[in-house]
Amino acid sequence: MSAETAVLVMLTVISAATPLLFAALGELVVEKSGVLNLGVEGMMLAGAVAGFAVTVSTGSAVLGIVCAALAGALMALIFGVLTLTLAANQVATGLALTIFGVGLSALLGAGFVGVPVAPLPKLAVPGLSDLAVIGPLLFAHDALVYLSILATAGIGWFLARTRAGMILRAVGESDESAHSIGYNVIRVRYLAVLFGGAMSGLAGAFLSLSHTPMWAEEMTAGRGWIALALVVFSSWRPGRVLLGAYLFGGVTILQLHAQGAGGLGIPAQVLSMLPYLATIAVLTIIAAGPWRGRLDAPACLGKLFRPPT
């Protein structure tokens, strides 16, 4: 494989990893606050269709991306009202949100199937992007790829170093303690859930505006679920989410290339299963391994909280 081919393969890995990274980072923040939102897939689809439709209609990709984030946050708001204000079961609500997102996005996107859109422009860093190998790999991506890397660092810093991040972790660790000290548990969780929704929306926008770029029904193809698995895989650490996302992006691209190279005698369907099989394998290893006591799951993950009156 020549250097150029290797660079091209790496670029597709980055492209496959970025939506996973956005969605998983968002869900990580949500889960750190103690909320389990299984609606990532649905929120991604809402973001994908909103981003695509607004970009096509207005011609502004920036507006499209903003609307994608808003659409994801709006979906998350539904989840928040149901689970945080009305104290509905988080698992059931999250599943419903995914199913709702599939249907809603198909409905809203019906008129946009097959419509072309210009992919997001690559923002080349002058001078650096012309370097051999490193140039195209590091310095010639679209804005969302840079944003996803910045978000990883930013969220890591926020959770570990800021007081707001500490309060968020505290709320996920013990809602009752946080309440008795005087923090507004529900408000913190609302903010986290909305942020998670916006990140899922960005993940969707990247899919429909950069990765593909086009709109198709259920185009997320299970990436929301892989993102959820990535959060567990990372044991709730942003740096490991980045690692995991690129690992899974790599597996996805690997199987595509294996299919292209004649499949090595393996049926194409089996190769297409690889990313999902890898997800199941990783989760099994994590759950069964000797380190399972050190998973660092937020202690209140998925628990309902009602402030006493």
Residues that bind another protein (CB under 8 A): 163, 166-167, 169-170, 173-174, 176-183, 293-294, 296, 298-299, 308-309
Interaxial angle between packed helices 3-32 and 143-161, expressed in degrees from 0 to 180 and rounded to the nearest 10: 40
CB of 170 to another protein, least distance (A): 5
Position 49, amino acid: V
CB of 292 to another protein, least distance (A): 9
Answer whether 301's CB lies under 8 Å from 231's CB: no
Count Cα atoms within 13 angstroms, Cβ side, for 59: 0
User: Is 183 or 225 the residue whose CB approaches another protein more closely?
Assistant: 183
CB of 169 to another protein, least distance (A): 7
CB of 177 to another protein, least distance (A): 4
Radius of gyration of the chain, Cα coordinates, nearest whole angstrom: 20
User: Is 2 or 309 the residue whose CB approaches another protein more closely?
Assistant: 309
User: Is 257 or 292 the residue whose CB approaches another protein more closely?
Assistant: 292
Give the contacts of 59 (CB within 8 A, at least 6 positions apart): none
User: Is 173 or 217 the residue whose CB approaches another protein more closely?
Assistant: 173
Look at residues 124, 142, 184 and name the one whose alpha carbon lies nearest to residue 55.
142
Answer whether 234's CB lies under 8 Å from 24's CB: yes
User: Is 116 or 308 the residue whose CB approaches another protein more closely?
Assistant: 308
- Rounded-to-integer distance, Cα 52 and Cα 213, Å: 9
Give the Cβ contact number of residue 188 at 10 Å. 22
CB of 89 to another protein, least distance (A): 15
CB of 226 to another protein, least distance (A): 26
Look at residues 279, 254, 268, 276 and name the one whose alpha carbon lies nearest to residue 16.
254
The count of residues in the chain is 309
User: Is 5 or 180 the residue whose CB approaches another protein more closely?
Assistant: 180
